[in-house]
């Protein structure tokens, strides 16, 4: 039993709880003295759910202690040290090192956002902590600024609350479908109850980086339902302040966990930024395998568009995935949010052909085709609708080029950000920006509006996909919006124009704006989907009609 004096309690006959220094959904944190060793410590007194039966409470307590003891075996400079785990009066306590300094959330609240170099430093520390934990089979499950401590004297980054979130029911949909915790930092695959793995912690880190750079999570909304929709369905728009670290942020906020940037590569890229002031691109492109076919397809970061690509004397087309979210509110939480997404793949038009009914542009994305898709063309069924609840679009002057990109003012009446090493190659009514060796092909076409709008154009292009793109498959056309304008997103896989070129994937977005129809697409080998999606997102995000 804990003994109580006038203002203090002693638990386990050893730890004197002296002052409350924090409170959260999982319990209370005390400043305490270890009377045996004569040192200051922090003690977390975990909350007990009074609604649980005696047997359920015992199981929860055992689970808490088991996981806390596992975390105590972790040794890393950026992971909180767990000294002891005790039970007093049937209540579990975790004894940890006492960090003199507040949380990262408190720092941002008091001093405002940090700059990119500081964000990179914090990210490097957290990635080291996550890698060590993941190697030991431990997931954090509740990575957010409030769970990151900043040591006052050294500014050391310290990750706390490891492994406890699952036990306490925070941050994810539990087996029973209830939701509590920090949804703004929760990965979409956990929202949908599909899976939980190291990749989910990395998504949380991506959201955290956006928060500390801008002062607000990119998924903050006015309601829990709005947050769930933002995480699982809405367009992901990193804040302008994330531009210097954009390749890392976009890689971490990849909705498909199989394609998400891994910890080692993210750390390499952040270290390179700290050393050079520039964020490099991926060193080793992701190569999909049959096992890697995603259960969750990335949501279009911008609205869909359809068109025929004509790369260096070629043409390609892109289609994207259908996505829908169902979230129901019940009792104290949200019932399981069902994420229903269609995988998409596609090809591009043949070198000699264009489609008169489409705003001929094409983009090839790199996601592999899904074996679960049928051979029926996407146009045989109604196009799904994605309702996008977006943040205010930035003004033209705010659309600056991320690290590794430049703004390209184009004589065809627009500007956009393209990678530094891409070169312009006009081909008739289409304009291409090509990577060295033409591995990546970014295309743009500007036309007069067409009957039926972007959706009709994309559907027509999809219907002709097999005649214009060798090996066309997995085409998907999705109705959406772009900067509040009607748009359509087309994604597909195809075989490429030559055997040597190999299979390619295309993302293609078409929309109307100011009395014109715009089509932007990116085509790339299926083994380079991560880079292709980044180029596509940046191009569409920074596109400004002139």
Task: Report the range of poorest mean pLDDT among 201-215, 340-354, 496-510.
Answer: 340-354
Mean pLDDT of the chain: 76
Q: Which of 49, 55, 115, 142 is catalytic?
A: 142
Q: Is the dihedral of CA 96, 100, 104, 110 positive or negative?
A: positive
Q: Which residue has the higher pLDDT, 286 or 452?
A: 452
Look at residue 222 in the predicted model and tell me its pLDDT: 84
Q: Provide the terminal-to-terminal Cα distance of the chain, rounded to the nearest Å.
A: 74
Q: Which phi and psi angles does 432 have, rounded to 5°?
A: -115, 145
Q: What distance in Å separates the CA atoms of residue 457 and residue 67, rounded to the nearest whole number?
A: 54
Look at residue 7 in the predicted model and tell me its pLDDT: 59
Cα–chain center distance at 299:
10
Does residue 266 have a pLDDT over 90?
Answer: yes
Q: What distance in Å separates the CA atoms of residue 56 and residue 61, rounded to the nearest whole number?
A: 9
3-state secondary structure of 336: coil
Nearest to 450 by CA among 466, 461, 441, 464: 461
Task: Report the range of poorest mean pLDDT among 128-142, 262-276, 337-351, 468-482.
Answer: 337-351
Strand ranges (DSSP E) for 207-270?
A: none
pLDDT bin (cut points 50, 70, 90) of residue 327 is very low
How much is the average pLDDT of 189-215? 90
**Sequence-ordered alpha helix ranges (H) in 95-245:** 104-111, 116-135, 165-168, 188-191, 198-214, 224-232
CB-based contacts of 397, cutoff 8 Å, min separation 6: none
Does residue 455 have a pLDDT over 50?
Answer: yes
Does residue 490 have a pLDDT over 50?
Answer: yes
Q: What is the pLDDT of residues 362-396, one digit of tens each?
A: 333 333 333 332 233 333 333 333 333 333 334 44
Domains of the chain: 3-97 (3.30.200.20), 104-284 (1.10.510.10), 301-384+400-545 (3.40.1000.10)
Active-site residue, 262 included: no
Task: Report the range of poorest mean pLDDT among 47-51, 256-260, 301-305, 518-522.
Answer: 301-305
Look at residue 283 in the predicted model and tell me its pLDDT: 58
CB-based contacts of 481, cutoff 8 Å, min separation 6: 303, 388, 390, 487, 511
% of the chain with per-residue pLDDT over 70: 73
CB-based contacts of 200, cutoff 8 Å, min separation 6: 139, 141, 186, 187, 189, 190, 257
């Amino acid at each position: 039993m804990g003994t109580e004096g006038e203002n203090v309690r002693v638990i386990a006959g050893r730890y004197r709880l002296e002052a409350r220094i924090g409170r959260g959904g999982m319990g209370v944190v005390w400043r305490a003295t270890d009377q045996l060793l004569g040192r200051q410590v922090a003690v977390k007194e975990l909350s007990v759910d009074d609604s649980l039966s005696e047997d359920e409470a015992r199981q929860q307590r055992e689970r808490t202690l088991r996981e806390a003891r596992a975390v105590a075996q972790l040794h890393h400079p950026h992971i909180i040290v767990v000294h002891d785990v005790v039970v007093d009066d049937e209540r579990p306590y975790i004894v940890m090192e006492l960090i003199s300094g507040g949380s990262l959330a408190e720092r941002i609240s008091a001093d405002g956002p940090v700059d990119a170099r500081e964000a990179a430093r914090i990210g490097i520390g957290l990635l080291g902590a996550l890698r060590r934990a993941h190697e030991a089979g431990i997931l954090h499950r509740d990575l957010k600024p409030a769970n990151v401590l900043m040591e006052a004297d050294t500014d050391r980054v310290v990750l706390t609350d490891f492994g406890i979130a699952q036990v306490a029911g925070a941050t994810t949909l539990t087996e029973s479908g209830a939701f509590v915790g920090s949804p703004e930092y929760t990965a979409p695959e956990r929202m949908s109850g599909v899976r939980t793995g190291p990749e989910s912690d990395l998504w949380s880190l991506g959201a955290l980086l956006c928060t500390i750079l801008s002062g607000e999570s990119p998924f903050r909304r006015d309601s829990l339902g709005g947050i769930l929709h933002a995480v699982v369905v809405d367009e992901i728009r990193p804040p302008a302040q994330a531009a210097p670290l954009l390749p890392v942020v976009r890689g971490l906020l990849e909705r498909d966990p199989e394609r998400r940037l891994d910890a080692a590569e993210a750390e390499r890229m952040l270290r390179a930024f700290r050393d050079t002031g520039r964020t490099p691109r991926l060193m080793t492109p992701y190569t999909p395998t049959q096992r890697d076919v995603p259960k969750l397809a990335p949501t279009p970061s911008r609205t869909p568009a359809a068109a025929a690509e004509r790369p260096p004397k070629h043409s390609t087309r892109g289609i994207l995935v259908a996505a829908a979210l169902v979230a129901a509110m019940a009792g104290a939480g949200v019932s399981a949010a069902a994420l229903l997404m269609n995988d998409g793949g596609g090809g591009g038009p043949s070198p000699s052909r264009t489609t008169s009914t489409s705003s001929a542009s094409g983009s090839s994305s790199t996601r592999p085709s899904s074996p679960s898709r049928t051979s029926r063309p996407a146009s045989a069924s109604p196009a799904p609708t994605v309702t996008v609840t977006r943040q205010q679009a930035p003004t033209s002057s705010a659309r600056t080029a991320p690290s590794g990109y430049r703004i390209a003012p184009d004589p065809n009446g627009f500007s956009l950000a393209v990678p530094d090493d891409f070169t312009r190659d006009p081909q008739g009514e289409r304009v291409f920006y090509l990577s060295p060796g033409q591995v990546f092909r970014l295309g743009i076409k500007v036309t007069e509006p067409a009957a039926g709008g972007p959706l009709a154009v994309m559907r027509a292009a999809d219907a002709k996909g097999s005649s214009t793109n060798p090996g066309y498959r997995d085409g998907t056309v999705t109705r959406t919006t772009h900067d509040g304008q009607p748009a359509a997103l087309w994604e597909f896989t195809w075989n490429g124009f030559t055997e040597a070129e190999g299979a390619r994937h295309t993302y293609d977005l078409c929309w109307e704006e100011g009395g014109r129809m715009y089509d932007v697409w990116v085509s790339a080998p299926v083994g380079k989907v991560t880079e292709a999606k980044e180029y596509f997102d940046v191009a569409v995000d920074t596109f400004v009609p002139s």
